Amino acid sequence: MSLQTTVSMAKPDSRSVRATVPEGIAVFLEIKAGDKLEWKMEIVNGERVAVVRKVK
């Protein structure tokens, strides 16, 4: 499954950005508001990849 979202600024005076987790991915990962996510950054075949998982 593949879904796309648009990234927006988190705050006007910050370098952080924000994206919404699509409903299909939230259901697949069984995440809800307040859950914690772990973000792992890797380089796979020369491409930057982020792996996200729900922290138990």
Give the global pTM: 0.72
Domain that holds residue 37: 8-54
3-state DSSP assignment of residue 14 = coil
Calculate the alpha carbon distances from 42 to 1, 2, 24, 39 in Å.
20, 19, 24, 10
pLDDT tens digit sequence for 9-21: 999 999 999 999 9
Answer yes or no: is 2 within a domain. Answer: no
Give me 49's structure tokens.
């990849």
- How many structural domains are present in the chain? 1
Answer yes or no: is 1 within a domain. Answer: no
Confidence of residue 56 (pLDDT cuts 50, 70, 90): confident
